[in-house]
């Protein structure tokens, strides 16, 4: 603290000179000494007063500077800040609280904080104003009342205030809108989900890379016996034709009774009738094995292939017709496609996606009383949105996160390999989209994906 350096000149000398000039006062030596001492003491007191005044001015300036600093800090805080005494009377509030309550500082200071809280939340105020001996902070949630209505919900922290003797004299309330905290939490949660999703995709890609190397060899080995089966079946078909023609020619001529009896005993006619279905069934099985091999090879070699302009209406009509022919139970299929929709891609691969999705939907509605399938395609901005929706039982919540994994299937043994949805998912991604599945609240499952329009 700066000290005053000014000291007035001696009051004793001044008074003595004044008395000497006047010439009207005469003192004896004893009285004159007393008066000189009195005047000297007065000068000392006067000098101390001047010094105290200078010190007081310095302290007052520092106090005003400190008060301005504290006020500036309080006003700069974006959270609301309210200082109350032990009874809840407001002693100070920052500008953030003034904006929240819609009141001026003069209308806030001196009023009870309860008058500025929404009526439904006043019961929560008592806990925030509770007498506390330590530095315990109490949390709560409040809505404030204003001329425009109730404010947002605020998360409030109540910190106790004590005097120099440690007695509880009030609280300091600080708060922030919960909406901001919730938005920050939602952003964090979304980022966490994206990170988990990226991690799952990375794991799946690594799994598929290993799986691809494995099945590439398996697919190559399976191709050899499949080619043998194909060749043998076609040879059997030629043999059957030749045998049937030969036997028909023989039996057109009169034959001995023993030959006719032998033909009956050996059930030649039944064998000839079974030849056709047996060959057809074998051929169908060979085709199915060939399709599985192709699917396995796709796990190893993911290529988009030849890109062309694809007419969506023709693509969907052809795929739905093809998929419907393979199923025995009848389904009400509705096709809703906007006219003149085109995309760029591989028509064969996209045809496979639609066929897989339609076949899965039809299989899922086996036990549905009135099965209905709706296939739609519509323009959505610069994309074409595909939707395949059924009214079946939907997809179990535990299966939603696994249905696009390879070899995952809910069908009975022998009815599916679990590769259709995985391959469809890969094809859609190669074309710049993403296949997703949802279970509708009213029932049924919906598969959808969007591809860039041509």
Closest CA to 366 of 320, 415, 318: 415
**Residues in a beta bridge with 141:** 155
β-pair type (308-311, 154-162): unpaired
Closest CA to 438 of 407, 384, 401, 411: 401
Calpha distance 216→211 (Å, rounded): 8
The pLDDT, as a whole number, for residue 301 is: 46
β-pair type (332-337, 372-380): parallel
Calpha distance 125→137 (Å, rounded): 14
Residue numbers in the chain where pLDDT is lower than 70: 1-29, 180, 204-225, 227-228, 246, 249, 251-259, 262-263, 281, 285, 288, 291-305, 326, 328, 412-418
pLDDT in tens, 311-346: 999 999 988 888 877 676 788 999 999 999 999 998
Taking a C-beta distance cutoff of 8 angstroms, is the pair 371, 391 a contact?
A: yes
The pLDDT, as a whole number, for residue 51 is: 86
Q: What are φ and ψ of residue 82, in 5° steps?
A: -135, 130
pLDDT in tens, 236-265: 777 777 777 767 767 666 666 666 776 677
pTM over 0.75: no
Note the residue count of the chain. Answer: 454
181-220 residues labelled b (16+ CB within 10 A) or e (exposed): eeeeeeeeeeeeeeeeeeeeeeebeeebeebbeebeeebe
């Amino acid at each position: 603290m700066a000290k005053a350096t000014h000291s007035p000149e001696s009051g004793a000398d001044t008074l003595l000179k004044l008395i000497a000039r006047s010439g009207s006062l005469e003192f004896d030596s004893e009285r004159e000494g007393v008066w000189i001492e009195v005047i000297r003491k007065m000068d000392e007191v006067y000098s101390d007063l001047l010094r105290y005044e200078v010190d007081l001015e310095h302290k007052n300036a520092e106090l005003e500077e400190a008060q301005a600093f504290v006020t500036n800090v309080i006003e700069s805080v974006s959270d609301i800040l309210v200082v109350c005494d032990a009874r809840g009377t407001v002693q100070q509030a920052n500008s953030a609280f003034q904006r929240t309550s819609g009141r001026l500082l003069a209308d806030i200071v001196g009023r009870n904080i309860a008058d500025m809280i929404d009526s439904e939340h006043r019961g929560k105020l008592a806990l925030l104003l509770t007498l506390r001996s330590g530095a315990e902070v109490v949390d709560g949630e409040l809505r404030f009342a204003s001329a425009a209505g109730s404010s947002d919900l605020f998360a409030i922290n109540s910190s106790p205030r004590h005097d120099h003797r440690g007695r509880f004299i009030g609280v300091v309330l600080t708060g922030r809108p919960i909406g901001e905290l919730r938005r920050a939490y939602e952003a964090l949660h979304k980022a966490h989900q994206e990170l988990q999703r990226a991690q799952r995709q990375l794991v799946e890609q690594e799994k598929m890379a290993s799986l691809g190397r494995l099945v590439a060899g398996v697919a190559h080995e399976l191709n050899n016996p499949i080619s043998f089966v194909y060749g043998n079946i076609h040879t059997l078909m030629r043999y059957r034709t030749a045998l049937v023609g030969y036997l028909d020619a023989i039996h057109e001529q009169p034959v001995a009774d023993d030959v006719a009896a032998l033909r009956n005993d050996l059930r030649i006619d039944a064998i000839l009738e079974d030849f056709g279905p047996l060959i057809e069934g074998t051929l169908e099985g060979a085709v199915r094995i060939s399709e599985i091999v192709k699917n396995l090879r796709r796990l190893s070699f993911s290529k988009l292939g030849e890109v062309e302009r694809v007419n969506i209406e023709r693509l969907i009509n052809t795929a739905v017709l093809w998929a419907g022919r393979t199923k025995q139970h009848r389904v009400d299929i509705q096709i809703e496609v906007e006219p003149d929709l085109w995309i760029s891609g591989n028509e064969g691969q996209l045809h496979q996606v639609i066929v897989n999705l339609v076949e899965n939907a039809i299989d899922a509605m086996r036990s549905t009383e009135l099965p209905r399938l709706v296939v739609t395609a519509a323009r959505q901005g610069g994309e074409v949105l595909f939707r395949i929706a059924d009214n079946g039982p939907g997809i179990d919540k535990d299966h939603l996160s696994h249905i696009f994994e390879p070899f995952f299937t809910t069908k009975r043994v022998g009815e599916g390999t679990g590769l259709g949805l995985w391959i469809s998912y890969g094809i859609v991604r190669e074309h710049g989209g993403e296949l997703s599945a949802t279970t509708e609240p009213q029932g049924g499952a919906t598969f959808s994906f969007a591809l860039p329009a041509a």
